[in-house]
Structure 1
Amino acid sequence: MLDANRSGTATASPRAAATGLAVPAAVLTPPLPRPGAVARCRRALGSPHARLSLLFALLAGAGAAVLVFEPQRLLTHGWPPQLGGLAAAVVFTLAYGLCTVAFVPRPLLNLAAGALFGSQLGLTTALAGTVLGAGVAFGLGRVLGQDALRPLLRGRWLRAADGQLSRHGFRSMLAARLFPGVPFWAANYCAAVSRMRWWPFLLATALGSIPNTAAYAVAGARASAPTSPAFLIAMASIAAPALAGAVIAWRKRHHLRSRQAPAGSAAPPSPATGPRARGNDRS
């Protein structure tokens, strides 16, 4: 509304002025820019399934590299002559760790460590390579695979393994390393997908791998004398944990089957309560 002042001019009232100056907030707020192609690609590559695909690609590349370079030739051709001493041990440790990530069996690598460096240095390099390879596999599985694989843990056995590793990580991994039954790479990636922490995993791997690694290193160092007491003791140390692991796995499986029996299933009739016994009672 217009108010007349003393000079005769008309002025707008404060309410009208406020109403006239009010601008919608949508006009003042600029539209948000749409994400560009780079941002969309970054978001797609950062998704859990994209990271899982990258993990599979890395593992496939590592396996192909093993098939091309054939690290098992170390047992037959020996170590390159230009490498020796501490440099050879460091290079072998790095190669050992990468080979375990690429699914090369650890017994083969442990035998090569003993044959190339002897019992003591072979055990040291093999253990260092074991911890290195386990740490690399655990890190790859945790960063690239955990977010995509955890929603898939729906089976009874998968949930039981995940709960065991998440709640009792150290002792579960220690048992897996002491008794050879679970493949080395499988234990690494299962622990990575679970909620197990880094330090219990690495410590259990280091401690649990000592007996088996030492036995293989001694066997590799004394392979030229298969009738020597050291070689025979090493072979017995390899066979004993394998047999004990098989017995424990069989008993655990039998125990789990008995616990998973349906609660409503009727027990088989005993001789005293069977149909013949009931007929005798009626007579």
Structure 2
Amino acid sequence: MLDPAATPDGLAARCTRVLFSPWARLGLLLTLLACAAAAMLMWHPQRLLIGGWPSQLSGPTALMAFVLAYGVCASAFVPRSVLSFGAGALFGSAMGPVAALAGTVLGAALTFGLGRLLGQDALRPLLRTRWLTAADRQLSEHGFRSTLMLRLFPGLPFCATNYCAAVSRVGWFPYLLATALGSIPNTTAYVIAGARASTPTSPAFVLSMAFIVLSGLAALVVAWCKRKSLRGDEPEAAAGTEAGTRVQARAGADQAGN
């Protein structure tokens, strides 16, 4: 009797399982990220966004093209601050924030979708250390609030936070909604700075840069306080684990005695 695995149908099924396995999908994701990073290093698309925008593009067409380029570039490791600065230089303080925010949400959706589709199944079993499990629990249980805090403060890599969130169990809608709302203050500040870059002594430029610096300092303070709170929770968690172990051991002894 022939082994089903040796038949063409069985071999095709095995190859399909291998190709669509979690680790194969993670390998594809890593390959895509490496190619994107290499492309960004060689091409420097931020120069196109800031100073080399095609002259034939204007009006709504230019705005839509910029949003698409912003989302793709933000998904490929180009800093959002540079892209938002370019939005201000190209579209001014009126339409620049609209283009930058739309591109931010698009970039978040692209990276979050790739991470959820290609990386979640392989990476979730690896969340074993205290810091990783704490971050995963925070994003999974308080997705909207946690994402909102991440977006309100600058300095965190956009792609990295998107992929980390994709590994967690946060939902699509709260994640993208929190990204849109939380990105408004700092994105607007960068856009205004880009729109007023030709006059660095203007009040608008100075105030926007001051807001960026102050929000960055606030992010450091919040991160430090959160780190201290996690350290404070560690002894309690360890004590709870030890108490649970003692209870289980006592219950086992009682059962053995009976």
**Where on the TM-score scale, by shorter chain, does this alignment land: which range?**
0.7 to 0.9
- Corresponding residue of 1:66: 40
Structure 1 residue 75: deviation in Å? 6.2
Alignment of 1:153-192 (within 5 A): 153-192=127-166
After superposition, the C-alpha distances for 1:74-97 in whole angstroms (9 at most, x for unaligned) are 366331112111111111111111
Alignment of 1:47 with 2:21, yes or no, is yes
Alignment of 1:128 with 2:96, yes or no, is no
Look up the equivalent residue of 1:183 and give its one-letter code: P
Aligned equivalents of 1:76, 1:132: Cα separation in 2: 19
Aligned equivalents of 1:200, 1:75: Cα separation in 2: 29
After superposition, the C-alpha distances for 1:28-77 in whole angstroms (9 at most, x for unaligned) are xx867435243322111010000000111111111122122211213663
Residue from 68, 75, 78 that aligns with 1:94 = 68
Aligned equivalents of 1:181, 1:255: Cα separation in 2: 21
Structure 1 residue 183: deviation in Å? 1.6
Q: Secondary structure at the match of 2:54?
A: coil
Contact 2:22-2:119 at 8 Å conserved across structures: yes
- Corresponding residue of 2:247: none
Look up the equivalent residue of 1:174 and give its one-letter code: L
Q: Secondary structure at the match of 2:197?
A: coil
After superposition, the C-alpha distances for 1:146-175 in whole angstroms (9 at most, x for unaligned) are 000000000000000000000000000000
Contact 2:50-2:87 at 8 Å conserved across structures: no
Contact 1:96-1:130 at 8 Å conserved across structures: yes
Look up the equivalent residue of 1:201 and give its one-letter code: Y
Contact 2:50-2:86 at 8 Å conserved across structures: no
Alignment of 1:211 with 2:185, yes or no, is yes
How many residues are matched? 235
Q: Secondary structure at the match of 1:242?
A: helix
What is the TM-score when the length of structure 2 is the normalising length? 0.86
Aligned equivalents of 2:4, 2:232: Cα separation in 1: 62
Q: Which has the higher contact order (CA 8 A, sep 6+)?
A: 2
Q: CA RMSD in A?
A: 1.8
Return 5+ residue gaps in structure 1 as ranges. 1-29, 265-283
Alignment of 1:1-283 (within 5 A): 33-34=4-5, 35-36=7-8, 37-74=11-48, 77-261=51-235
More helix by share: 2
Structure 1 residue 260: deviation in Å? 2.7
Look up the equivalent residue of 1:188 and give its one-letter code: N
Return 5+ residue gaps in structure 2 as ranges. 240-258
